[in-house]
Structure 1
Amino acid sequence: MRSEICNHPRIVDAETCLAGCTCGGDHPAPEVTLYSGEDAAQMMAEECRAVYGDRPVLLLFDPETYAVAGADLEQRLLSEKVNLTTHQFDSNPVATAALIDTVRDLDHGMALIISVGSGTINDLGKYSASEDQIDFWCLPTAPSMNGYTSGIAAIKVKGVKRTLPAAPPKRIYARPEVIQNAPLKLRQAGFCDVLAKVVSDIDWQCESLLFSGSYCGLPAAMMTTVEKSYSEHGLEIGRGDESAVMGLFHGLLISGVAMSLAGSSAPASGGEHLVSHFWDMREPLTGREPELHGLQVGVGIILSTACYRRLRELAAEDLPHRGEELFAATAAEIPAIWGPYADEVAKQFQGKRDALIQFNTLLPQKWNELQTLFQQVQSPEYFAELFARTGAPFNLEAFRLTKEEFMLAALNSRAIRERITVLDLAAHAGVLDLAANDALQLLSC
């Protein structure tokens, strides 16, 4: 039994948070530490007992993550005499307000919540702990997404997928063997999710140039330091090579920290994420079980990069002045697409109405500067080839998406969030449908 807690290294140190900043703002380093080793579960159990003693601890998992790592951790926690309560979600849980209520009903009086799993289970534990001011630790089971270290949680509220503030975990304990042996689709999903930052960073710069002035180069600088550890190793990630998979996992952790430092998801979540949220939100209406978030984001990357390529072909004088007309036409589609969720979606879209109308004057004025940003984005073929290197199929059929549902998301997902993205730029410029068809051809192979 361990009598004191070890000081594990932070994922990002304070000095790193100063280098690369271009906004002059304050970027306090999140105090998230990482212990990585095959004895991670035992280390977590011993340190849990050392820190919390007899105070109650809540352990969250689903059947799949319980089999992979949860059962082992549970036994180690009990062996260390941790005052443990467990909760098992159903397979493939969705992070909804209702499930948040379930966790918060369980966490009364708890000193700590531990999530064993990846996206949804991490978000459920993180958000509940943050809301109830309870400590949160996690034991990841896959390199499938960047939310482990982010300061947000993706929760479906009244049918709308929202990113809500949530303090990241204080401690992460990772078993390399578990991460390395995660199913191929989970590794491919993480590969897609971490590569999204290449596109979302340009989305953020475009929005900042046009409206907020909020862009900071720090997140991109942080990612550049680790990018080669995963971007050049798609084949090895697909094969399950330990160094490549752990490089991907580390890149995902850094990506999440980058969002925390920026104070928003903008550095790693742009238009490419909206199509994924669109399909998640449509699940009750279509009956289609959403695919892994990262894989859907990969589809969105193909769409966003196709948009940037089409935008590069335009001159300022080619831009129409139809902000009001286009907003009205898109808003008119919301009731038919969203049914009982239409009012909530309409509220989100209304939130950027003024910005979209300002496109009439702002886009021509800023077009030369925007073109400099557009030129930095690689082609959709480049990303499609990268994703295919993992060895898993990367097309609509593999993700159970029809061409009709893809086109519906491509043309309408921009309405579900207030954030300005390349999808809005392409729609205003009149090339969104062309870009969507370009992407459709690539994704139908």
Structure 2
Amino acid sequence: MTETFDLSALKQSLDAAPDHKNLKPLGLQTIYLGRDALTVLPDVVAAMVDATPALGPVAVLSDSTPKRYHAGDLLSFVTGCIDARHRVRNVTVGVAGHTVHADEETLAKAIRDCDGAACLVAVGSGTVSDIGKAVAAAQGIGYIIVQTANSVNGYADDRSVLLINGVKRTIPTRWADVLIVDTDVLVKAPVEMNVSGFADLIATFTAPADWYLATLLGMDDSYSPTVVGLARNQGSALLEAAPLVPQADPNALEQVAKTLTLSGISMGIAGTTAPCSGMEHAVSHLLEMATTKAGNETALHGAQVGVTTIVAALLWQRVLGEIADGGLSRVRVPGPAESQAAVLAAFHTVDPSGAMGAECWRDYERKLARWAHASERIELAKRDWPTHEGTLRHLLATPQSLVAALQSAGAPLRFADLEPSVNEADARWAVANCHLMRERFSIADMANFLGIWDDDLVDELIADAAALGSSR
């Protein structure tokens, strides 16, 4: 077992960065990553219990999906490690055989079930760990995550993706105190989950461009070259490991885990998920919202992100061409009434109650108000656009290279390749309306404000992305 991350050195490096005053404190205390990392769990829990005056049990949060560790059951191993010294309270979220959703009801029940606990240990997926962050924050107790798959990058940040009024929202909660990533656990995880994490990371080859453009045009104030560098620090090694990910090669899975962890940390210190989450994540969230509302199972989040990153890269090419042709002189500011009607109509199709549309409008209204005052920043951007375009192209990968990377890891390339597959109507709805769900500015917003975001362009992007995926 190795403690891979020297967090003290990382913190010192961040403190010395030119933009360090804009960064948030790194709250993770310790990360154990490698073979047999779980052997530290008894001592880690004991130290956490000793540091609290609470006399309650150690709450172990998990879902009902069995997980393997060596030849046995992972949850039994974890509870056995803890039970040797402390009382254990098992807390299960979700319904057996179904995807766990971090909605208000599930979260409220988990908080109640963990009442009085001395500390919390989460054993499970990104959703389970996100619920755990919110529970630990609400209860004010120490928090340990045992990562069970390389499915997402959210294990190592301080936010939780929660369902609020049926809408996926990323809410500040808290960092884990300790993150344990045992490669002997990862190799037993479903192959598709580890591949999903790889696909989730592909967004770092488009999302930072969304973030840079947003800050350039006055729609965000948080862009940080230091954070982008951290998020993409392991990019070359990640791509080299890609072909071995579906083979559950321990070294490849450790590399993916390390990259996911740095990606999560980058979001935490940025105070936003923007370094790793742009248009492509919004589309994935919309797909999940629609399928959840319909009572259907969703495809893995990271797999959806990978597919949609190809679409985002294609849109970037189109928008850069439009701006080079003088597009910034033709931007428009939609009126509030027009925009509210568009938001409410878009989400009425999946939620006739209007709750989802109202939740999205609250966020979109703030984005629209900021855009109404962006004219000065737009003029400044126009004056030095060649320089900004160079920076953006440096942050972007080509659609073809993204397809090649995803293919090398055995990840889905088209909406139809997802499991369960996404039909054409749902894909079109999610792509067409991705800019309407949140305050974050993305390349889809830019296309909309340029006046080119319409059904024809959406259909063209989806068709072109599918053609790229089919050609491999």
Shorter-chain TM-score above 0.5: yes
Cα distance in structure 2, aligned partners of 1:65 and 1:130: 27
2:230 aligned with 1:225: no
Cα distance in structure 2, aligned partners of 1:299 and 1:431: 22
2:422 aligned with 1:401: yes
Cα distance in structure 2, aligned partners of 1:7 and 1:179: 16
SS in 1 for 2:246: helix
Deviation at 1:22, TM superposition (A): 3.2
Assess, with a 3 A threshold, how the Cα gap between structure 1 residues 35 and 200 changes in structure 2: closer, same or farther. same
Aligned positions of 1:45-444 closer than 5 A: 45-52=42-49, 55-68=56-69, 69-78=74-83, 80-89=84-93, 90-91=95-96, 92-211=99-218, 212-314=220-322, 315=324, 317-319=326-328, 320-324=330-334, 327=339, 330-331=342-343, 333-337=345-349, 338-340=351-353, 341-358=356-373, 362-363=377-378, 365-367=380-382, 368=385, 370-376=388-394, 377-399=396-418, 400-433=421-454, 434=457, 437-443=460-466
TM-score by length of 2: 0.86
Question: How large is the RMSD of aligned CA atoms in angstroms?
Answer: 2.5
Cα distance in structure 2, aligned partners of 1:35 and 1:436: 45
Q: Which moved more, 1:6-15 or 1:257-266?
A: 6-15
8 A Cα contact 1:190 1:294, kept in partner: yes
SS in 2 for 1:419: coil
Assess, with a 3 A threshold, how the Cα gap between structure 1 residues 175 and 130 changes in structure 2: closer, same or farther. same
Q: Please name the residue that 1:14 is paired with.
A: 11
8 A Cα contact 2:432 2:458, kept in partner: no
Deviation at 1:210, TM superposition (A): 1.0
Q: Which moved more, 1:106-115 or 1:215-224?
A: 215-224
Cα distance in structure 2, aligned partners of 1:335 and 1:393: 27
Cα distance in structure 2, aligned partners of 1:115 and 1:23: 31
Q: Which moved more, 1:341-350 or 1:58-67?
A: 58-67
- Which whole-Å deviations, capped at 9, do the CAs of 1:45-82 have from their partners, x for residues lacking one? 2331344156411001122255552121112222x231
8 A Cα contact 2:38 2:182, kept in partner: yes
Deviation at 1:436, TM superposition (A): 5.1
8 A Cα contact 1:30 1:257, kept in partner: no
Q: Which amino acid aligns with 1:85?
A: R
Cα distance in structure 2, aligned partners of 1:8 and 1:49: 22
Deviation at 1:237, TM superposition (A): 1.6
**5+ residue gaps, structure 2:** none
SS in 1 for 2:400: helix
Identity %: 23
Cα distance in structure 2, aligned partners of 1:37 and 1:332: 48
Assess, with a 3 A threshold, how the Cα gap between structure 1 residues 242 and 70 changes in structure 2: closer, same or farther. same
Assess, with a 3 A threshold, how the Cα gap between structure 1 residues 58 and 22 changes in structure 2: closer, same or farther. same
Cα distance in structure 1, aligned partners of 2:65 and 2:8: 27
Cα distance in structure 1, aligned partners of 2:274 and 2:92: 32
Cα distance in structure 1, aligned partners of 2:340 and 2:38: 54
Deviation at 1:106, TM superposition (A): 1.1
Q: Which amino acid aligns with 1:397?
A: A
Cα distance in structure 2, aligned partners of 1:8 and 1:371: 35
Cα distance in structure 2, aligned partners of 1:209 and 1:40: 43
Cα distance in structure 1, aligned partners of 2:20 and 2:458: 33
Deviation at 1:324, TM superposition (A): 1.4
8 A Cα contact 1:17 1:29, kept in partner: no
Deviation at 1:373, TM superposition (A): 3.8
Assess, with a 3 A threshold, how the Cα gap between structure 1 residues 216 and 321 changes in structure 2: closer, same or farther. closer
SS in 2 for 1:113: strand
Deviation at 1:8, TM superposition (A): 8.8
Cα distance in structure 2, aligned partners of 1:8 and 1:25: 23
Assess, with a 3 A threshold, how the Cα gap between structure 1 residues 46 and 23 changes in structure 2: closer, same or farther. closer
Deviation at 1:363, TM superposition (A): 4.1
8 A Cα contact 1:195 1:231, kept in partner: no
8 A Cα contact 1:154 1:164, kept in partner: yes
Cα distance in structure 1, aligned partners of 2:34 and 2:432: 45
Q: Please name the residue that 1:35 is paired with.
A: 32
- Which whole-Å deviations, capped at 9, do the CAs of 1:347-401 have from their partners, x for residues lacking one? 2221211234456775465241543344231222221221111124432122211
Assess, with a 3 A threshold, how the Cα gap between structure 1 residues 428 and 258 changes in structure 2: closer, same or farther. same
Cα distance in structure 2, aligned partners of 1:8 and 1:355: 39
- Which whole-Å deviations, capped at 9, do the CAs of 1:323-354 have from their partners, x for residues lacking one? 21673663353353342222212222212112
